[in-house]
Amino acid sequence: MTTLYLVRHGETKDNVAMMMQGQRQGELTANGVKQMEALRHRLKDVHFDAIVSSDLRRAKDSAEIVALHRGLTVMTTPLLRERDWGDFTGRFIPDLKDLPMPDNVEKMGALLDRARAFLDWLKAEYPGKTVLAVGHGITNKAIQAVYYGKLTREIPRMDNAECRVLSL
């Protein structure tokens, strides 16, 4: 059985500004760094065989904070990238409330397929291992929706630097 420690990246400047980050790189705030340092401390007694993250900077930087002193290199994968919000990317979230979804937003079915592909890859690449994976709010919800066989709206929102454990 593969054990997945699924983590959302630390707080970013765009989180604070309520901007739709999507697949922008993002930058951790000082608080985001502290959140990830606190998570590293909480997980200090957990042995990880691997640490993977989204290839977006905010997730990779978060993963590297947890990886510090573990002798593990963070491997990145686009499978963990945040949902592509198309024309909504970089916009102030409250302004988007009643707007129609642009055609160039990544469809939920495609995001769920990507989540399924990540879980399949993880089980094949790390059978019987313990892996920490740092991703993003919506993508992590999709991974959990696939895992639990639920709708994404049924999965509780993950806070920044929150960790949930799944047994695959």
Up-side HSE of residue 86: CA atoms within 13 Å toward CB?
11
**Annotated active-site residue in 11, 82, 106, 136:** 82
Find all residues with CB under 8 Å of 29, minimum gap 6, and list them. Answer: 10, 11, 12, 13, 15, 16
- Known catalytic residue at 9: yes
Contacts 24+ apart (CB under 8 A), 153-161: 158/8, 159/8, 160/8, 160/9, 160/10, 160/11, 160/12, 160/15, 160/32, 160/35, 161/7, 161/8, 161/9, 161/10, 161/11, 161/32, 161/35, 161/36, 161/38, 161/39, 161/62
**Annotated active-site residue in 9, 11, 106, 136:** 9
Quick one: which of 125, 117, 124, 105 has its CA closest to 146? 117
- Known catalytic residue at 82: yes
Provide the annotated active-site residues: 9, 82
